[in-house]
């Protein structure tokens, strides 16, 4: 009797596990299939794209969509522009946000916490509200069509400052005190002692900033001249041709780099998301 | 630097120096734009020059309330999107996270797969989905057709909103799933064990132990969704931005964008519209915070 019961129980557990696994796989397919289908479409010859049957596995690989995307022009420019924009955005955010995050966490000056709170409130402002006046300010500063105009508004992301401040707060203050006694200056203390200790946090904001810049669409579209696309505007242009082969190839070119970065630095992505939930 | 000054003053100055770049950027691109938005909304600013600018008092606001029916339509659309997306997002993220909360190799893989849609640009995502929704060659509609269901198309009032909601959920779940997984893993094991000894089954444990304990994360996710969902833009721009039913699907941000970028658009009206949107977002955020404080005490 007891044996029968445990067997029944085991059976239930296996059934339950099977059910859970099925749901997990089902949702996995929901999340992956669109990418997979876009990828498969992008390496299909045009006549297969509009064929009547669903062929989930491509019968032949054909790069003509990618070649056509390339010959349409603008692709290399878009990649180059996106790389420049992303690199500048990364460098500026890493340096400016770690300076500010450190000061807000560990340096004592009048009005520190008030300034910090006001800046944090800025995170609530929808970007569309500041869009038109920001364009006006870019105009006044004479930054239209310039790289500084593209990257400056996002050069010190509030979230990055908040995130780094939280990290600096967890580090003991005694490190600075003993260094001061040894005669170290504030810059040395920041660069030599504290900054190396927040490397994981820097990695996390680096990948989120990379992602944000790589995907950014509206601002570079408005600031750069129309013959200077970034990858997101390029994808939109390819979509506007109405040719699915071109659109999918361009989408894949925009997607693959960020997925590779994710697979390489997954740990930091996941950590960053987890921490913002728990500490937020 | 500042070596000749007293230590305390030096420290103060260095503090200001460290935050100076971030503060200047904040003043230039957050604070002054907000002030400018408010000031210019009382003028006939055209978005290009200041040469013929005049105070027009409340004219823009009056115009919006009297004639801007498309904007109110877009606010209604936004409300529908929020009601459909926010609860579904939270419930689905929570369920999927609870399925992936055990630290196993396969769960790590699934977590990565679920997160991938969050990575790509909304533009590229929407472009892919526009293809999936194609009435003739789209994968979604072919699959629906094989099981005998009606197609989801972007040019049909009945299904276009649903199409946009699905895409927004698809790209919005991953991050919240990851946050929920971390929160569930943070719940101390001892609490689960105590509940088990009391004879609670796994569903009861989930409802009575897990959900109350991860509440702060739920509030955080809710707040973020209440700020981000009303700002839906890129996917709507690509999916139904310029088709015959765009009025029935467009969001306030898309309307404001059109008013700013299109020739013949009204810049001053765009300012008023964006301020109304901002006020709504602040109101909802404040209410959420109020409500949640009350339930805490």
pLDDT (0 to 100) of residue B289: 83
The yes-or-no verdict on residue A50 having pLDDT over 70 is: no
pLDDT for the residue B297: 33
Residues on chain B touching A31 (C-beta within 8 angstroms): 113-114, 116-117, 170, 174
pLDDT for position A91: 97
Which of A20, A49, A128 to mutate to test binding with chain B, by most B CBs within 10 Å of its CB?
A128
Is residue A85's pLDDT more than 90? Answer: yes
A4: pLDDT confidence band, cut at 50, 70 and 90? low
Q: What is the mean pLDDT of each run of 10 residues along chain B (297 residues)?
A: 72 93 96 94 83 85 90 96 98 96 92 94 95 90 89 90 96 94 90 88 88 91 94 94 84 92 81 95 89 57
- B196 Cα distance to chain centroid: 38
Question: Residues B40, B271: contact at Cβ < 8 Å?
Answer: yes
Of A40, A83, A6, A17, nearest to A244 (Cα)? A40
Interface of B with A in 55-94 (CB under 8 A): none
Strand partners of residue B43: B55
For the stretch A133-181, pLDDT in tens is 999 999 999 999 999 999 999 999 999 999 999 999 999 988 888 888 8
Residues facing B55 on adjacent strands: B43
Q: Is B243's Cβ below 8 Å from some Cβ in A? A: no
CA B283 – CA B29 distance, rounded (Å)? 23
Distance CA B234, CA B221 (A): 21
Question: For the whole model, what pTM was predicted?
Answer: 0.91
Q: Are B136 and A51 in contact (CB under 8 A)?
A: no
Q: Do A150 and A223 touch, CB atoms closer than 8 A?
A: yes
Which among B14, B130, B233 has CB closest to A186? B14
Q: State the complex-level ipTM.
A: 0.90
What is the rounded average pLDDT of the residues A88-115? Answer: 95
Looking only at Cα atoms, what is the longest distance across chain A? 85
Above 90 in pLDDT, residue A251? yes
DSSP line for A199-235 = HHHHHHHHHHHHHHHHH--HHHHHHS-TTS--HHHHH
Of B253, B68, B261, B243, which is closest to residue B163 (Cα–Cα)? B243
Query: Which of A133, A248, A279 best tests the B interface by mutation, with the highest count of B CBs <10 A?
Result: A133
Taking only the tens place, the pLDDT of each residue in A209-238 is: 999 999 999 999 999 998 999 999 999 999
Q: Is the pLDDT of residue A47 over 80?
A: no
How far is the CA of A20 from the CAs of A226, B138, B176, B211, in angstroms?
50, 29, 20, 19
* Predicted local distance difference test score (pLDDT) of residue A55: 74
Q: Tell the residue number behind the tokens 């190396």, with chain if given.
A: A196
Per-range mean pLDDT, top range of A13-17, A81-85, A203-207, B99-103: A81-85
Its sign, for the CA torsion B216, B114, B250, A121, is positive
Q: Distance between CA B141 and CA B130 in Å, rounded?
A: 11
Average pLDDT value for chain A: 90
Nearest to A34 among B129, B178, B179 (CB): B129
What's the pLDDT at A180? 86
Residue A79 CA: distances (Å) to CA of A83, A228, A234: 6, 10, 9
At A17 the pLDDT is 86
Positive or negative torsion for Cα A193, A195, A198, A199:
negative
Q: State how far residue B99 is from chain A, nearest Cα, in angstroms.
A: 7
Written as six digits, the tokens of A164 are 């780094």
CA distance A136 to chain B (A): 8
Q: Among partner residues B127, B178, B231, which is closest to A274 by beta-carbon distance?
A: B178
């Amino acid at each position: 009797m007891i044996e029968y019961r445990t067997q029944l129980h085991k059976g239930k557990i296996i059934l339950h596990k099977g059910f859970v696994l099925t749901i997990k796989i089902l949702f996995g397919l929901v999340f992956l299939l669109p990418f997979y289908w876009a990828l498969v479409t992008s390496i299909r010859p045009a006549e297969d794209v509009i064929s009547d049957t669903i062929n989930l596995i491509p019968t032949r690989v054909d790069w003509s969509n990618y070649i056509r995307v390339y010959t349409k022009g603008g692709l290399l420019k878009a990649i180059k522009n996106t790389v420049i924009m992303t690199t500048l955005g990364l460098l500026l955010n890493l340096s400016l946000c770690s300076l500010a995050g450190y000061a807000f966490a560990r340096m004592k000056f009048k009005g520190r916490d008030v300034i910090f709170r006001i800046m944090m409130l800025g995170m609530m402002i929808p970007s569309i509200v500041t869009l038109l006046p920001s364009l006006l300010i870019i105009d006044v500063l004479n930054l239209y069509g310039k790289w500084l105009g593209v990257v400056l508004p996002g050069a010190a992301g509030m979230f990055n400052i908040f995130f780094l401040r939280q990290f600096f707060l967890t580090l003991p203050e005694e490190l600075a005190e003993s260094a001061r006694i040894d005669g170290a200056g504030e810059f040395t203390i920041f660069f030599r002692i504290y900054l190396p200790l927040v490397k994981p946090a820097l990695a996390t904001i680096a990948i989120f900033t990379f992602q944000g810049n790589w995907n950014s669409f509206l601002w570079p579209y408005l600031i750069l001249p129309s013959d200077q696309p970034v990858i997101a505007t390029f994808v939109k242009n390819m979509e506007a041709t109405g040719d699915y082969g071109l659109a999918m190839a361009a989408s894949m070119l925009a997607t693959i780099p960020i997925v590779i970065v994710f697979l390489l630095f997954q740990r930091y992505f996941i950590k960053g998301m987890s921490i913002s939930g728990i500490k937020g | 630097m500042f070596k000749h000054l007293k230590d305390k003053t030096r420290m103060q100055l260095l503090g200001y120096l460290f935050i100076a770049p971030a503060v200047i950027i904040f003043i230039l691109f957050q604070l002054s734009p907000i002030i400018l938005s408010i000031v210019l909304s009382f003028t006939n600013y055209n978005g290009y020059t200041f040469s013929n600018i005049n105070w027009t008092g409340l004219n823009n606001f009056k115009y919006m309330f009297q004639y801007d029916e498309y904007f109110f339509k877009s606010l209604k659309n936004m409300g529908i999107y929020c009601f459909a997306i926010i609860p579904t997002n939270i419930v689905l993220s929570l369920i999927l996270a609870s399925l992936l909360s055990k630290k196993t190799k396969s769960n790590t893989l699934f977590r990565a797969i679920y997160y991938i849609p969050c990575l790509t640009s909304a533009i590229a995502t929407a472009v892919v989905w526009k293809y999936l929704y194609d009435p003739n060659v789209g994968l979604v509609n072919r699959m629906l057709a094989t099981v005998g269901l009606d197609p989801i198309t972007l040019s049909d009032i009945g299904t276009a909103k649903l199409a946009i909601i699905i895409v927004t959920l698809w790209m919005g779940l991953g991050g919240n799933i990851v946050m929920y997984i971390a929160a569930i893993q943070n719940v101390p094991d001892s609490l689960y064990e105590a509940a088990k000894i009391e004879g609670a089954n796994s569903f009861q444990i989930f409802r009575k132990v897990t959900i109350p304990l991860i509440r702060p994360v739920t509030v955080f996710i809710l707040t973020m969704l209440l700020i981000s969902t009303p700002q839906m833009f890129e996917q709507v721009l690509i999916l139904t931005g310029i088709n015959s039913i765009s009025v029935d699907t467009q969001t306030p941000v898309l309307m404001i964008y059109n008013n700013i970028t299109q020739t013949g658009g009204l810049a001053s009206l765009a300012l008023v519209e964006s301020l109304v949107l901002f006020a709504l977002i602040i109101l909802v955020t404040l209410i959420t915070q109020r409500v949640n404080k009350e339930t805490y005490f």
